[in-house]
A and B are shown apart, each in its own frame.
Chain A
C-alpha cells in the first residue's frame, strides 16, 4: 500500500540555519504530494504541495520539489526562524482508488534563538 517515510525528529537548529526534512514515498500511479505543518495546540495546515513530477511547491520561504525518480519530496528552508518551530508532516494522495491522504509520522522542528 501507499506509505510515507519521514526522517525522525526532533530536528534542533539555531535561528538562520538551513533546514532539510527528508521525505520519501511509496505509491502506485502519480500521487500528489503535500507538506502540512502543525503548530502547538493547533490542527494541521497546508504548507505547500506539488501535483506532478518536477513541480516545486513553495510557501513562506519553504520549498519542496517532487522527484519521481527518487520518490522524494524533501522540505527545505534557507534560514529558519524561532516561529518555524512546529511539527511537519509529509503526505501523499494517490491517483488510483481512494484519494484519502496518507501521512508520515511527522518531524518535530525546534529552532533556538
Chain B
C-alpha cells in the first residue's frame, strides 16, 4: 500500500498570505489528523477529520482550518500567516473509527517557512 502523501513538501510564504496544504491518507483509512511540529513546542495536535466531519480539535486559532473530502483526502488552510506559523506540518491517517490502541501513519510533512 502506498503511504501517506503530503503536498507540497516545501513552501515559502510571506506574512499575511494564506496557504493550503494537502494530504492523501493510506487507501482505506478514514481518519486524518494534522499536527504542527516546531523545535520550541514539539508536536501539537491541530484537528482530526473522520468521514468528512471534524471530530477533534486542538487549541489553535480560527486561522487554522481544514476539511476532508469524500475520498478521505484532506486539506488544511492557514489564513493571514504569521512568522510563528513557520513549522513542519504533519498529516497522519488511521483506519478505524477510534480506539486507544490505533496506530497513526504519518506523511513526510510539509515544511512551511513564513517570511
Residues of A within 8 A of B81 (CB): none
Count class of interface residues, chain B: 20 to 34
A-B contact count (CB 8 A): 53
Distance to closest chain A CB from B104 (angstroms): 6
Interface residue A105 (Cβ < 8 Å from any Cβ of B): yes
Interface residue B61 (Cβ < 8 Å from any Cβ of A): no
Q: Give the one of A36, A95, A98 with max B CB within 10 A.
A: A98
Q: Which residues of B contact A (CB under 8 A)?
A: 4, 33, 42-43, 45, 48, 56, 90, 92, 98-109
Q: Which residues of A contact B (CB under 8 A)?
A: 30-32, 34, 36, 41-46, 49, 51, 89, 93-95, 98-101, 103-106
- State the 8 A-B residue pairs at the shortest beta-carbon distance, nearest first: A43-B106, A51-B101, A32-B101, A93-B100, A32-B100, A103-B43, A105-B42, A44-B106
9 more CB-based (< 8 A) A-B contacts, given A44-B43, A93-B102, A103-B43 = A34-B103, A42-B108, A43-B109, A46-B103, A46-B104, A51-B100, A94-B100, A100-B56, A104-B42
